[in-house]
Amino acid sequence: MANKLWSGRFKQSTNRLVEDFSASIDFDWRLYKEDIMGSIAHCKMLGQCGILSEEEVEKIVDGLIEIQREIERGEFEFDRALEDIHMAIEQRLIEKIGDIGGKLHTARSRNDQIALDLRLYLRNTINSFLKLLHSLKTSIVDLAEQHSETVMPGFTHLQHAQPVVLGHHLMAYYEMFRRDTARLKDCLKRTNVMPLGSAALAGTTFPVDRKITADYLEFPEISRNSIDAVSDRDFVIEFLSAVSLIMLHLSRLSEELVLWSTTEFNFVTISDAFCTGSSIMPQKKNPDVPELIRGKTGRVYGALMSLLTMMKGLPLAYNRDLQEDKEPLFDAIDTAGTCVEIMARLLSELVFDKERLREMAGEGFITATDLADYLVRKNIPFRRAHHITGEIVRYCIEKNRKLEELELNELREFSGAFSEDIFEFIAVESSVSKRESFGGTAPELVKKAIEVAKTELEDEKNQFNL
């Protein structure tokens, strides 16, 4: 009982099973830097407000710094009996400097302490993710630039639809991850709010100055309601939602890489460094990395669903249920961060087969829409042009012919509007180059989009000091 900092009200020792069941130190030790940082800021504020003496502040701060060194040297003992990282550090502080260490918790509760630690930790995590996304987007743009004129089949329903440029297809993922970046930046605004000073739920009777603490910790905003500050975890849920979308986009890209690397597609070769073999089939080269990213997406979704479910029935203010926010959060951070990093590296070593892509771009009557558009330009209503083109495609299927293999006289049997220029109009390269509407796949537009992206990435690079 003596080592419980809250034991005064209790007659019995905590059941050992309960200690093991309720302890969070096995995972919340990861917050030690944030906990010590927040404690130092809190201590200095107490000193400036005259609640602690200068000598007390100096001893507490020096003790906390030494505790951080002990942790980083691997000398600190994490005891489950002390429940969490906050109690472990405070107990060690008291052991080191005596009763003065017990004054650190003046005007503070573990409730606002953990809210602070989480916000500090997530603030750093978001900045790390923004840098990881920068690397991923850079890999995508570099790859797209290599293939700004590489023609490939575009798909809908996994069927050949219209020819596009590979660079344009890749830049679609750039746009997805660009939005992910924006979401994380927006999430950072709501995360970067200082809750310390809210105490257990009602604020404190001590004459604290929360702005001093916020300035020490570089928080631009202070929480406006003490009850909300200690019971809120929507900033964690928002982060997990943003990370889930990152994983969704990674999973879609992974699925395409899995498909495109098959013998049936044969569009791309994934580097051996990102594949594995079979224990029984010596010829196999399996795209394990994209498959694992696709699989780990569900794991990150699970973290999001875990917190949504945990929070949905909690009354105000703090409840111990909130301890369950950290394990899924930490796991999602580790999982998603690794997936983003490894995908960036995988993309930089992809090799696309340009000839195969061009060959397949000519299959599946892929310029049929262009043929219909040609008729529209000859003053035939689009619906009528669509029907005529459908009849021509059916004719080709029956005759086992391609559109460009038909003779002009055959085409004129379906419409007298056809002239010799139809064959140039339905050529694959012509189809691609004519799609010049803003955001389209024409190579010149793709190159401009890549230049815009490169400028954006350069701005980010300067922002992150990369």
Task: Please indicate, yes or no, if residue 273 is contained in any of the structural domains.
Answer: yes
Closest CA to 356 of 192, 204, 166: 166
Mean pLDDT of 50-75: 97
Contacts of 299 (CB under 8 A, 6+ apart): 331, 332, 335
The catalytic residue positions are: 157, 278
Start-to-end CA distance of the chain, whole Å, equals 51
| Domain span holding position 373 | 368-426
pLDDT digits (tens, 9 = 90+) for 173-218: 999 999 999 999 999 999 999 999 999 999 999 999 999 999 999 9
Whether residue 254 is found in the same domain as residue 400? no
Mean pLDDT of 329-351: 98
Task: Please indicate, yes or no, if residue 462 is contained in any of the structural domains.
Answer: no
pLDDT over threshold 50, residue 453: yes
Answer with the one of 353, 379, 413 that is the final residue of a domain. Answer: 353
Token readout for 74 is 């691997």
Whether residue 281 is found in the same domain as residue 390? no
CB-CB neighbours of 411 under 10 Å: 20
pLDDT digits (tens, 9 = 90+) for 430-450: 999 999 999 999 999 999 999
pLDDT over threshold 80, residue 18: no
pLDDT digits (tens, 9 = 90+) for 396-416: 999 999 999 999 999 999 999
Task: Please indicate, yes or no, if residue 337 is contained in any of the structural domains.
Answer: yes
Contact 108, 199 (CB under 8 A): yes
Q: Which three-class secondary structure state does DSSP give residue 376?
A: helix
Closest CA to 195 of 218, 209, 214, 215: 214
Q: The domain that contains 47 carries what CATH number?
A: 1.10.275.10
Task: Please indicate, yes or no, if residue 294 is contained in any of the structural domains.
Answer: yes
**Cross-strand partners of 86:** none
Closest CA to 80 of 13, 3, 23: 23
CA distance 268 to 266: 6
Whether residue 293 is found in the same domain as residue 390? no
CA distance 271 to 351: 8
How many domains is the chain built from? 3
Q: Which three-class secondary structure state does DSSP give residue 80?
A: helix
| Res. 1 pLDDT band, cuts 50 70 90 | very low
Contact 172, 143 (CB under 8 A): no
pLDDT at 2: 43
Q: The domain that contains 409 carries what CATH number?
A: 1.10.40.30
pLDDT digits (tens, 9 = 90+) for 127-152: 999 999 999 999 999 999 999 999 99
The enclosing H or E element of 221 equals strand 221-222
* Residue in this structure with the two tokens 């429940």, named with its chain if needed: 83
Whether residue 388 is found in the same domain as residue 284? no
Token readout for 13 is 């020792």
pLDDT over threshold 70, residue 3: no
Whether residue 85 is found in the same domain as residue 39? yes
Half-sphere exposure of 450 (CA within 13 A, CB side): 25
Contacts of 211 (CB under 8 A, 6+ apart): 222
Q: Would you report the helix, strand and coil content of the chain in percent, each value rounded to 5? A: 65, 5, 30
**Cross-strand partners of 160:** 155
CA distance 148 to 257: 19
